[in-house]
Structure 1
Amino acid sequence: MHDGFTSAQDRAAFIAGLPKAELHLHIEGSLEPELMFELAQRNGIAIPFASVDEVRAAYAFSNLQDFLDIYYQGMAVLLTERDFYDLTAAYLSRAHADHVRHVEIFFDPQGHTERGVAFETVITGITRALDDAQAQHGISSKLILCFLRHLSEAEAEATLDEALPWLGRIDGVGLDSSEVGHPPSKFARVFARAKGLGLKIVAHAGEEGPPEYVHEALDLLKVDRIDHGNRSLEDPALVARLAAEGMTLTVCPLSNLKLCVVDDIAAHPLKTMLDAGLAATVNSDDPSYFGGYVGANYQAVADALDLSKADLVTLARNSFAGSFLGAEEKAKHLAAIDAYA
């Protein structure tokens, strides 16, 4: 075993208690099959699965698009404010169990408004659950509105218009959905507008898309953080730039495995990223679909890559340092990690 650990159990216990922030979580991607069935019944919605087991069996993907097809299908059960509350509260209770102290979650309003669900219904349910988790578990949060990149920039602009009354509750904007063929440059104008409104900027780049997409996210969208970023490693100059700028990468190991971005978790580039001085973090992405919340992601890479205590502490520190918390709150969380380690 690596430094400071006498056994695999010792490392697992250390990971379990390590204070963490999660920076890459799609709230719709935390919809567990059991809740999907419950909401389908509650709302009288027919879903193309006869059992929870059938849903889990369908969660075998060969690429991002396979996953997205079923992800949008699952969303159909989310209709009322209570549904969005229940969805978010269920995730937060799992995060609390994993010693997550701060979350920055994505939501996809276009996946709901195009089904006739009001923007207000979505954000009210989510934020009420975030407020309750702060009161009950002490979990702080930031909310990031994502634009669906397979849709047009004009549709993203319309979504930003709908968000204007809620800017007091929205901390940033992101870019998700089908990456290949939808470069960040497609959304340069709407992101410039969001930045002008004081919103933080993040974007999925370099998951399935090429390193050029990461360059575009940096240069055209002026991102504060890169979501995924795995394929940056193909471009040594880009790696050097990301390290020099201290750009946080929100890496999602089990997602990468499930979507065949990596063939084997033992081949995951996370350790390579750390060794290259990149500010990598560990996150769960769409945990109900990809087989694990943030603790399970830490555990998977720790075991497969034989991560040391120092590596794990670095990952946890990166998660708070790369968050959109204020300097004082960051310092408090970093001190808690040091005290724990």
Structure 2
Amino acid sequence: MLFALLISSSFAGSVEAWSVKAFPEDYLDGWDGWESGWNEDAWFGLEYNGQTFASPIYDENDDGSIGDGGAHDNWLVNAAEDVVQGEFVVSTYADDDDAWGVIFDKTEDHYFMLLFCGPSRGGNNTDCPLDELDVPGSALIEVTKGNVDVIDGSGRGFDFEAEVDVTVESQDGTVTVTYGDITYSMPTPADFALNGVGFYGYNQGQYEGGQDDGSSTYFYNPVLYWSDDDDDKVVDDDDNCEGVANADQADADADGIGTACDDSEAGGGDTGNDTGGGNGNGNGTGDGDGLDGPGLSAPGLCSCGVTDPKSGAALLALATLAAARRRRG
């Protein structure tokens, strides 16, 4: 496409590319582009009090490793959209004390993941799929054909029985992953895109030994945004002038730089440093300060890292749902 001129649900500095407002109460593998990495532990959509969640069904672990196609690869991902500069946000809630994560840039044999092994407080007997990671602990990892590289990490686990957003932002050459006050970052790799986004759960299902143990990890409200720094509804990935609003994408000299921010199209070459009789565009009798000429404007910058605030209703629904399961168990 030449450029994306989009009118959709968005916040200042961003345009929504893809989202899931509600998961169906059914198996999720194969639904609307979602696919799982291990078909023996299916992911299911749950609805409670008007909120829907994606969650793994069974508590499963094994003696294998990430990349072998077994329990260590219990992920659910969606190809979504090829967003290079943008942000992926998903809400999470975990009352199971094992391992879970958020995956991004997933291709056939490669992905990145924010991985948590155990809660900082409130859990015990954690199973972690990665030997290199402390328990409790968290890490930003890269998986390539089953080989795992730990990019960054700490001894911080997840917040037990708490609603917390995970945000993955790719902007200006840096990928930043945030969970509460935990932040990991890395330089943006070549050919990186915020596609192949999704969820991960290891020994995190609702059922253990055929019995509902009343605990799991829940993912909901996933949203993928394109960055749109100048808020002109032309996303930064396609904008020929990211810092100045130019919805028409005019480019008079066809050099790939929009007229709105192309100094070579300003006319006359007046930089504003002369004291002669120019009018700011080099052909009149102005004051020569260069501020009144056509086509000269300073880039205006605005923030793209915006997260949709939550009302807390989902947290209440999850807590009530977990309590109800425990009473039944």
Sort the TM-score into its range (normalised by shorter chain). under 0.3
More helix by share: 1
TM-score (norm 2): 0.28
- Higher-Rg structure is 2
More strand by share: 2
